[in-house]
């Protein structure tokens, strides 16, 4: 085997290794895509749960903002919302959050 044959063999092997690496990366991306697709189909992602929680928080904030003169303690209500407690309105009763 001459030096030229050896360099040709090295070039072919390098190209083969590069192709395997590219194909392995594409396969990993495809597997990640299929896994994400399965999670979405099964509903195991916390996206729906987080979305409903955010919708509840927005409803509460809208209600606080539209109470006008009734809500003297808006800052307390917002802090209660951050703490995860149901905020109380000026009358002292907790706000009712209903799904639409």
For position 52, what pLDDT does the model report? 81
Residues 60, 97: contact at Cβ < 8 Å?
yes
Distant-in-sequence, close-in-space partners of 91: CB < 8 Å, separation ≥ 6: 70
Q: Give the torsion through C-alpha atoms of 22, 27, 33, 36, to 10 deg.
A: -130
Structural domain spans, the chain:
1-44, 46-100
Tens of pLDDT, residue by residue, the chain (100 residues): 899 999 999 999 999 999 999 999 999 999 999 998 888 887 766 666 778 888 888 888 887 777 765 655 666 777 777 777 655 554 555 556 565 5
For position 24, what pLDDT does the model report? 97
Residues 94, 86: contact at Cβ < 8 Å?
yes
For position 28, what pLDDT does the model report? 97
d(CA 51, CA 84): 16
């Amino acid at each position: 085997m001459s030096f030229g044959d050896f360099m040709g063999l090295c070039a072919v092997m390098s190209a083969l290794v590069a192709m395997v690496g590219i194909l392995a990366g594409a396969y990993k991306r495809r597997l990640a895509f299929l896994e994400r697709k399965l999670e979405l189909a099964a509903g195991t992602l916390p996206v729906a749960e987080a979305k409903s929680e955010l919708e509840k928080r927005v409803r509460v904030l809208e209600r606080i903002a539209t109470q006008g003169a009734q809500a003297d303690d808006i800052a307390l209500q917002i802090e209660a919302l951050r703490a995860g407690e149901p905020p109380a309105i000026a009358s002292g009763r907790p706000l009712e959050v209903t799904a639409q």
